[in-house]
Structure 1
Amino acid sequence: MNKVVVGLSGGVDSSVAAATLHHQGYEVVGLTLWLMKGKGQCCSEGMVDAASICEQLGVPHHIVDSRDVFQTNIVDYLVAGYESGITPLPCSQCNKAVKFGPMLRYAREELGIDRIATGHYARISYDAETGLYQLRRAVDSSKDQSYFLYDLTQDLLSGTMFPLGEMLKTETRRIAAEFNLTTADKPESMDLCLVEANGSMQAFLDKFIPQKEGDIVDQSGKVLGQHTGIHHYTIGQRKGLGIAAAEPLYVVALDAVRNRVIVGDRASTHKPECTAARLNWVSIPEPTSPIRAEVQVRYRSKAEPVSVIPLEDSRIKLVFDEPQFGITPGQAAVLYDGDIVLGGGIIERFE
């Protein structure tokens, strides 16, 4: 019988992934990573719901204490990033370093099982011509999570299944109801796990970063107001600036050295190009010459046409066909060819 370890967060998506595979005849083993204490699907509450699903399906449930790994790779990473004036993206980092890598290693080494599955909305295919696995967008474009998975390796793709990749979210809910899963009516998780657990990203960061007042200035350096810490702001932000102006103002840059938040009009937030580092070419070999692609510079943004120019040290320059709003250092730039994720990296700076 085929065996698979299913990562269970306690939410409806991972529950349906486990139930679907179990219904298809797989020998399912549930695995929950204990990432932190508190509310939310990745916390204590999620573990209880995950255990309930495994009991309902009649399958084993394992819990792995991953709090130290989460602290180092996510909490410390986030705090250091915000202190330096960037806006880190924790989810792709968490998927590779905290979730998929450790889960597949645990499955192989502790359970003797060579495949894992999760409730992510994405797809994996195999290209016989190149001998590479390909990460693809989910069928349900409104739920597609491939943006957060660009950092996965070929080894991880080869050992991973996404049972929900071909489903619409409405089908997931329907299946949960049909199987009478205890999580069928559980509300959707709308925020980062750290936001769910702490109420807001600001509340989370304020636990680690002392508030340090500084100036909010325009692009000429004129002081317009005061801020309570640059970690409370992100590029492209308009609301909550606390300053009055004749036209709407947006955060256009964060100056950590001088502890300043720099604002300007909307036009000044549009940038024609940027550079990215820490590249992972998930579905193709690393390009050695310029290529054309589409790029998403944030999760909910539309993929836009771009020229990708390889630089030294495996970095890239992205030259957009049209200037893009709110390019934010620390966020991911993920490259696509249709529904195939070519790769991605972390935005360093904009031009």
Structure 2
Amino acid sequence: MKKVVVGLSGGVDSSVAAAILHNQGYEVIGLTLWLMKGKGQCCSEGMIDAADICEQLGIPHEVVDIRDVFQTNIVDYLVSGYSIGITPLPCSQCNKTVKFGPMVEYAREQLGCDRIATGHYARIGYDEATGRYQLLRAVDRNKDQSYFLYDLSQDLLAASVFPLGEMEKADTRRIANEYGLKTADKPESQDLCLVESNGSMRAFLDKYLAPKQGEIVDTTGKVLGQHDGVHHYTIGQRKGLGIAAAEPLYVVELDAVNNRVVVGDRTQVTQPECTVGRVNWVSIAEPVTPIHAEVQVRYRSHPVPVTVIPLENSRVRLVFDEPQFSITPGQAAVWYDGGKVLGGGIIEQFG
């Protein structure tokens, strides 16, 4: 019998992934990573629901305490980034270093298993011509999570299974009800786990970063207002600035060194290009010449045409066919060829 370790967060998606594989005859072992205490999935509340699902399916349930790993790789990473005026994206970092990596390691070393599965909406293919595993968009484009998985290595892709990749979200709910899963009607997670656990990103950051009053200025240096910490702002932000102006103003720059929030009009936060670091080439080997692709610079942004120019030290320059709004250092840029993820990395700077 084939054995697979299924990562269970306590949500409906991972529950259905486990149920599908169990129904297909796999020897399924549920594995929950204890990331932090609190409400929501990935927390103590999620572990209880995951344990209930394993009991319902009649499969073993393992819990691994990796709170220290989560603290170092996600919490400290976020706090450090916000403190210097960038807006880090924790999800791709979490998937590689906190979830998939430790899951595969635990499965291999402790459970004698080479395969893991999760409830992510994405697909994996294999290109025999190049010998590379490919990361592909999910069939349900509204739920597609390939953007957050761009940093997975070839080894992690080879070990992973995404049972929901060919399904629509409505099918997931239907199957959960057909199997009578306890999580069938559980509300979907809408925010980052840290936001769910703390109530808001502001509340989370305020636990680690003390208020530091400074000036809100325009691009000429004129003082327009005051702020209580650059970590409360992000590039492109319009609402919540607390200043009056004749025209809409957006955050253009976060100057952590001088503790200033710089604002301007929409044209001043629209950029023709940016540089991206910590690049991982997924479905293709790193090219030696520029390639044309489509890129997403945020999870919910529409893919737009771009030229990807390889640089040294795992970096690229992205030159957009048309300037893009709100290019935000710390966020991920992920480029595609249709439904295939070519690569991705972290935005370093724009302009």
TM-score category of the 2 structures, normalised to the smaller one: over 0.9
Amino acid at match of 1:269: V
Work out whether 1:125 is the aligned partner of 2:108.
no
**For 2:152, what is the secondary structure of its paired residue?**
coil
Q: Which residue of 1 aligns with 2:332?
A: 332
Amino acid at match of 2:307: S
Once the 2 structures are TM-superposed, how far is the Cα of residue 288 of structure 1 from its aligned partner? 1.0
Q: Tell me how far apart the structure 2 counterparts of residues 325 and 123 of structure 1 sit (CA, whole Å).
A: 29
Q: Tell me how far apart the structure 1 counterparts of residues 36 and 254 of structure 2 sit (CA, whole Å).
A: 30
Q: Tell me how far apart the structure 2 counterparts of residues 189 and 315 of structure 1 sit (CA, whole Å).
A: 33
Q: Which residue of 1 aligns with 2:320?
A: 320
Q: Tell me how far apart the structure 1 counterparts of residues 270 and 299 of structure 2 sit (CA, whole Å).
A: 17
**For 1:92, what is the secondary structure of its paired residue?**
helix
Q: Which residue of 2 aligns with 1:214?
A: 214
Q: Which residue of 1 aligns with 2:298?
A: 298
Q: Which residue of 2 aligns with 1:62?
A: 62
Q: Which residue of 1 aligns with 2:99?
A: 99
Amino acid at match of 2:234: T
Amino acid at match of 1:25: G
**For 1:248, what is the secondary structure of its paired residue?**
coil
- Structure 1 residues 187-208: Cα deviation after superposition (integer angstroms, max 9, x where no partner): 0100000000000000000000
Q: Which residue of 2 aligns with 1:235?
A: 235
Amino acid at match of 1:254: L
Q: Which residue of 2 aligns with 1:139?
A: 139
Q: Which residue of 2 aligns with 1:349?
A: 349
Once the 2 structures are TM-superposed, how far is the Cα of residue 314 of structure 1 from its aligned partner? 2.3
Q: Tell me how far apart the structure 1 counterparts of residues 97 and 287 of structure 2 sit (CA, whole Å).
A: 25
Once the 2 structures are TM-superposed, how far is the Cα of residue 259 of structure 1 from its aligned partner? 0.4
Amino acid at match of 1:277: G
Amino acid at match of 2:79: V
Q: Tell me how far apart the structure 2 counterparts of residues 314 and 133 of structure 1 sit (CA, whole Å).
A: 20
Amino acid at match of 1:45: E
Once the 2 structures are TM-superposed, how far is the Cα of residue 312 of structure 1 from its aligned partner? 2.0
Q: Which residue of 1 aligns with 2:263?
A: 263
Q: Which residue of 2 aligns with 1:85?
A: 85
Q: Which residue of 2 aligns with 1:112?
A: 112
Once the 2 structures are TM-superposed, how far is the Cα of residue 287 of structure 1 from its aligned partner? 1.1
Q: Tell me how far apart the structure 2 counterparts of residues 10 and 314 of structure 1 sit (CA, whole Å).
A: 36
Q: Tell me how far apart the structure 2 counterparts of residues 158 and 312 of structure 1 sit (CA, whole Å).
A: 27
Q: Which residue of 2 aligns with 1:250?
A: 250
Q: Which runs of 4+ in 1 moved over 3 A?
A: none
- Structure 1 residues 131-150: Cα deviation after superposition (integer angstroms, max 9, x where no partner): 00000000000000000000
Work out whether 1:277 is the aligned partner of 2:277.
yes
Question: Unaligned 5+ residue runs, structure 2?
Answer: none
**Are the counterparts in 1 of residues 294 and 303 from structure 2 also a CA contact under 8 Å?**
yes
**For 1:313, what is the secondary structure of its paired residue?**
coil
Work out whether 1:194 is the aligned partner of 2:158.
no
Q: Tell me how far apart the structure 2 counterparts of residues 42 and 239 of structure 1 sit (CA, whole Å).
A: 30
Amino acid at match of 2:146: S
Work out whether 1:157 is the aligned partner of 2:157.
yes
Once the 2 structures are TM-superposed, how far is the Cα of residue 266 of structure 1 from its aligned partner? 1.3
TM-score with structure 1 setting the length:
1.00
Q: Tell me how far apart the structure 1 counterparts of residues 97 and 282 of structure 2 sit (CA, whole Å).
A: 15
**Are the counterparts in 1 of residues 176 and 183 from structure 2 also a CA contact under 8 Å?**
yes
Q: Which residue of 2 aligns with 1:310?
A: 310
Q: Tell me how far apart the structure 2 counterparts of residues 309 and 282 of structure 1 sit (CA, whole Å).
A: 16
TM-score with structure 2 setting the length:
1.00
Work out whether 1:72 is the aligned partner of 2:69.
no
**Are the counterparts in 1 of residues 280 and 314 from structure 2 also a CA contact under 8 Å?**
no
Compute the RMSD of aligned alpha carbons. Answer: 0.5
Once the 2 structures are TM-superposed, how far is the Cα of residue 251 of structure 1 from its aligned partner? 0.5
Q: Tell me how far apart the structure 2 counterparts of residues 76 and 198 of structure 1 sit (CA, whole Å).
A: 16
Once the 2 structures are TM-superposed, how far is the Cα of residue 267 of structure 1 from its aligned partner? 1.6
Amino acid at match of 1:218: D
Q: Which residue of 2 aligns with 1:2?
A: 2
Q: Tell me how far apart the structure 1 counterparts of residues 27 and 313 of structure 2 sit (CA, whole Å).
A: 44
Q: Tell me how far apart the structure 1 counterparts of residues 185 and 123 of structure 2 sit (CA, whole Å).
A: 25
Once the 2 structures are TM-superposed, how far is the Cα of residue 283 of structure 1 from its aligned partner? 1.1
Amino acid at match of 2:14: S
- Structure 1 residues 307-350: Cα deviation after superposition (integer angstroms, max 9, x where no partner): 01111222111000000010000000101000000010100000
Amino acid at match of 1:292: H
**For 2:216, what is the secondary structure of its paired residue?**
strand
Q: Tell me how far apart the structure 2 counterparts of residues 301 and 24 of structure 1 sit (CA, whole Å).
A: 36
Q: Tell me how far apart the structure 1 counterparts of residues 312 and 7 of structure 2 sit (CA, whole Å).
A: 38
**For 1:182, what is the secondary structure of its paired residue?**
coil
Q: Tell me how far apart the structure 1 counterparts of residues 46 and 22 of structure 2 sit (CA, whole Å).
A: 20
**For 2:313, what is the secondary structure of its paired residue?**
helix
Q: Tell me how far apart the structure 1 counterparts of residues 38 and 314 of structure 2 sit (CA, whole Å).
A: 39
**How many pairs align?**
351
Question: Unaligned 5+ residue runs, structure 1?
Answer: none
**Are the counterparts in 1 of residues 202 and 232 from structure 2 also a CA contact under 8 Å?**
yes
